[in-house]
Amino acid sequence: MTKIGFVGLGIMGRPMARNLMKGGHEVIAYDIVPRLVDNAVSDGAARAGSASEVAAAVDFLITMLPDGPQVEDAVLGSGGILDAAKPGSLIVDMSSINPMVSQKIGAACAAKGVEFLDAPVSGGEPKAIDGTLAIMVGGKQEAFDRAVPVLKLMGASVTLTGPVGAGNVTKLANQIMVACNIAAMGEALVLATRCGIDPELVFQAVKGGLAGSTVLNAKAPMVLDRNFKPGFRINLHQKDLRNALLAAEANKVALPLTSLVQQMLMALMTQGKGDCDHSAIVNFVEQLAGIEVKRQAAAAV
């Protein structure tokens, strides 16, 4: 049994920490929101009063936070993880952040003799609960080998994609493909609906062909049911696409489709839909057409 620190206990972090405990590990948990720590304690975790308190108690620590500034504060800030982390300990940041921030944090950790991996995830809350996330890792092979047994308790696939920062580059690539896929699905189903075709039948007809995808299978039923309960929120996906565009600018890469979908997400956030599931990207297209994509009522017998 390994004693594992876990900082960040929100919609993703809590079920991930729970799966570590199901795997037989002791978890010491902290979040700046006391209620979230209470939730983790009710699951069986031990309570810590700060990020540095977690770091002082463990040799293996996971962070799962909203964005780069929060990770920087938790790791590099006053009273943060590096203030108390022991040389030889391992920090695995599973947040989705700008790769350049991951590299900055990794360099600061290396200067103190602390190993660092960036290991963002894909799959949203359902796969966090199931322990079937896709985990994309950047860092040294030795640190990766050390982390794999723990990461496999939270993910169905764990892949080392390159040095520190590569995990988040891979995650940004993932988020581009997911967002553009949802937007294309929305346009297709809106067109079908406007043409008088049952969008559910269109979904059933195309899902087994080349247009079929995990995204389509997961998100089309949500749209048809008008269920936008968040598995992955619009405001978080907008953050990921913003980070993708920042990385693209730094590397002189044009991402026209990503830019367009990021603006769609921004518009939805302005309308108060930032906490909706990212399947609600379809709402943007629906508004332009003045229709809704939904299941059609069964015909009366």
The whole-angstrom distance between residue 79's C-alpha and the CA centroid of its chain comes to: 26
Query: CA angle, 192 as apex, 187 and 196 as ends, to 5°?
Result: 145
Rounded Cα distance, 238 and 247, in Å: 14
DSSP states of 252-287 as a string? T---HHHHHHHHHHHHHHHTT-TTSBGGGHHHHHHH
What is the helix (H) or strand (E) element at residue 47, kind and residue range? strand 46-47
Say which residues have a Cβ less than 8 Å from residue 202's Cβ, sequence separation at least 6: 188, 189, 192
Do 102 and 118 touch, CB atoms closer than 8 A? Answer: yes
Do 258 and 179 touch, CB atoms closer than 8 A? Answer: yes
Give counts: helices (H), strands (E), the chain.
Answer: 14, 9
Residue 63: φ, ψ to 5°:
-115, 140
Q: Which of 127, 171, 239, 273 is labelled catalytic?
A: 171
Residue 6: φ, ψ to 5°:
-140, 120
Rounded Cα distance, 83 and 85, in Å: 6
Distances (CA, A) of 91 to 14, 111, 192, 196, 222: 18, 13, 48, 54, 36
* 273 has catalytic annotation: no
- What residues are annotated to the active site? 171
